[in-house]
Amino acid sequence: MKDEELDARSKKLRSIVVGALESNGGGHIGSSMSTIEILRVLYDSVLRFDASQPSLPDRDRFILSKGHGCLALYSILADKHFFPVQELQTFCKPTSKFGGHPERGKVPGVEASTGALGHGLPIGVGVALALRMKKSAGRVFVLTGDGEINEGSNWEALMAAAKHRLSNLTVLIDYNKVQSYGRTVDVLDLEPIVDKFRSFGFVTEEVDGHDVGALETVFRKLPFVKNAPSAVVCHTVKGKGLPFAEGNPEWHHKSGLTELDFQNMYEIFS
């Protein structure tokens, strides 16, 4: 993966995440920072949606299966005017609609309540199948975490998607190689991950998950074929953009952050 500088848009979206974190004193920061570019490209260049009418029948659906990384999703939804960015200052407050996991029906633009890992992809398979039965042009994109793939429900869902040839379904893997308490290679090695997805019937490509141009090129080709589901393995860095958090399992979730910590983060993304 290229060690490239983040551009102004990627820094802006990360600053929104930091602002939400500041109101709560912490959260799943490492898990959110790794997905910013993936979500940015999806919402800027790929997904069909209307923020003023979030329930349009033929819209594309995005499901964040790794629900603990919701701050990245909240950031891009605010950026796209699903709700005012100022509302994120209530993140995780008792009366807030913005919890530590996204909830459908509370947050505009959230398509599924996720956070119980391994649920998002099975939901996505069901939605994709229903859309096809309705002859809808809507597509389904599901973003999973690499640690989340330890859950067997994902592999059952992959088999079902391949059986039904759901070309309107794309699975994106946030392959940052670190999960809640260690490296994925130590906890439960996923390699050869690309071969696994291909063997389960998904036409699969891999990409640098922080290279906006490369993501746009790959996503522009979706679906990869007309009669099979697609998968994109996105090689990312946990905590991307924060040198002290990058690749560090201790920053999967962080609490008790101080005013100085947040000042430091704002300066990095200024």
Number of Cβ atoms within 10 Å of the Cβ of 267: 8
Q: Quick check: bond before 192 cis, omega within 30?
A: yes
Instruction: Report angle CA 239, 31, 170 to the nearest 5 degrees.
Output: 115
**Domains along the chain?**
8-268 (3.40.50.970)
Q: What is the dihedral of CA 240, 157, 54, 130, to 10 degrees?
A: 160
Digits of tens for pLDDT over the chain (270 positions)?
445 689 999 999 999 999 999 988 889 999 999 999 999 999 999 999 999 999 999 999 999 999 999 999 999 999 999 999 999 999 999 999 999 999 999 999 999 999 899 999 999 999 999 999 999 999 999 999 999 999 999 999 999 999 999 999 999 999 999 998 899 999 999 999 999 999 999 999 999 999 999 999 999 999 999 999 999 999 999 999 999 999 999 999 988 899 999 999 999 998
Task: Report the C-alpha gap between 87 and 169 in whole angstroms.
Answer: 31
